[in-house]
Amino acid sequence: MALTVFRFDASGCNGCDIEILSAVLNPEYGITGIEVVDAPDKAQAMIVTGGGNEKTAALLKGAHSRLQEPKLVIAMGACAASMCVFKEGYNMRGPVDTVVPVSYFVLGCPPRPQNLAVAVQTLLKSDTDRSGPLWIGPEGLRARMAHDPEKCTACGACANMCPSGAIDIAGDGKEFRIVFNLWKCSFCGTCQQVCPEEAVKLTADYNLQGGEKASLIVSGTMARELCVVCGNPHITKIQKAAVQNRILSHDGTLSARLSEITSSLSTCPACKAVISRQTTARKNMLRWVYRT
């Protein structure tokens, strides 16, 4: 099957567009069935880069209406999927799927050309041998993150520092859940840099694509221990160990008082607020941490 494609730059920086050309022009990627045409009327598919803005959103809608069936739309790159770091831009109207229906999201900033090639091959239902070195992401590539719940303290540093607002942490129930929304991510690597526990790392796995944004995530769950007083969900084992280690790193002799420290850490803030013995424990903790 061949596919005629119209390329639409809605507000991209050109990085994605260059990778589209790399993917299409390099026969080694195996997407020779694709033909880039110069008008939407001649195309069955559109590859869109950048988010829709005041000027381009209406044009994008118009171009989509002129496409031939099956009117496939590939949203290429972080900006097309979510507007990413540009989402607060004064002239931005919305990611591509708020303007026209999107068939496939190809993620990255910019996506690897191989990533687009896989998407096109999937849409064309074509089989390509991807076992060669061309398909291996180079060392240092910042793509899909790997999260280790055994190290994560759910401290929130990554979510606070993420420039794209791509990380959600919630802890209402019996666990903390961290979600890295890949479709909002610019793959800047800040989460990896700020994580004090080395719990998140960006890997070279660039194969980031799919038809549903909701499936383009990396997540982890950390079970919470129950408060020893009220029995409500409280701290995680990893959080407790991290704080405990921090206290002991200030003064190793405090290991003799480990049970007091553990008792204080195992009591939720609500109970600490009403129990006099825990108020004392909290004061002790502050004294130990700040050595006052």
* Selected binder of ligand SF4 within 20, 74, 158, 235 (CB under 6 A): 158
Which tokens in the block code for residue 34?
């694709």
Nearer to ligand SF4 by Cβ, of 158 and 229: the residue is: 158
Binding residues among 176-205 for ligand SF4 as defined by CB under 6 A: 178, 180, 185-191, 194-195, 197, 199-200
Please report how close the Cβ of residue 244 comes to ligand SF4 at its closest, in angstroms: 16
Determine, following the binding rule CB under 6 A, whether residue 56 of this chain makes contact with ligand SF4. no
Least distance (Å) between residue 289 CB and ligand SF4: 19
The answer to whether the beta carbons of residues 14 and 43 sit under 8 Å apart is no
Q: Residue with CB nearest ligand SF4?
A: 15
- Our CB check for ligand SF4 shows the closer of 89 and 269 to be 89
Is residue 52 part of the contact set for ligand SF4 (CB under 6 A)?
no
Q: Contact region for ligand SF4 (CB under 6 A) — 7-15, 94-102, 251-259, 269-277?
A: 7-15
Residue 60 beta carbon to ligand SF4: minimum distance, rounded to whole angstroms:
14
- In sequence order, the 6+-apart residues with CB closer than 8 A to the CB of 214 are none
User: How far apart, in whole angstroms, are the C-alpha atoms of residue 28 and residue 26?
Assistant: 5
Exposed e or buried b for every residue in 129-151, given b needs 16+ CB within 10 A? eeeeeebebeeebbbbbebebeb
Reported in sequence order, the residue ranges of the chain that DSSP labels E, i.e. its strands, are 3-9, 34-37, 45-49, 52-53, 72-76, 92-94, 104-106, 145-147, 167-170, 175-181, 200-202, 209-210, 217-226, 233-236
DSSP letters, 228-276, are TTT--EEEEHHHHHHHHHHHHHH-GGGGGGHHHHHHHHTS-HHHHHH-H
Which tokens go with 81?
């999927």
One of 167, 229, 268, 285 touching ligand SF4 (CB under 6 A) = 167
The neighbour count for residue 54, using CB atoms within 10 Å, is 12
User: Interface residues for ligand SF4 in 96-125 (CB under 6 A)?
Assistant: 109-110
**Closest CB to ligand SF4 among 64 and 142?**
142
To ligand SF4, the closest distance from the beta carbon of 285 in angstroms equals 20
Residue with tokens 């730059």: 9
Candidate ranges 37-45, 56-64, 151-159, 255-263; the one touching ligand SF4 (CB under 6 A): 151-159
Q: Which lies closer to ligand SF4 via its Cβ, residue 47 or residue 227?
A: 47
CB of 232 to ligand SF4, least distance (A): 21
Distance CA 2, CA 35 (A): 8
Please tell me the distance from the alpha carbon of residue 35 to that of residue 4, in angstroms, as a whole number: 5
Strand 72-76 to 104-106 pairing: parallel
The CB-of-150 to ligand SF4 minimum distance in angstroms stands at 11
CB of 202 to ligand SF4, least distance (A): 6
Q: Which spans of this chain sit near ligand SF4 (rule: CB under 6 A)?
A: 12-13, 15-16, 49-50, 77-79, 109-110, 152-158, 162-164, 166-167, 178, 180, 185-191, 194-195, 197, 199-200
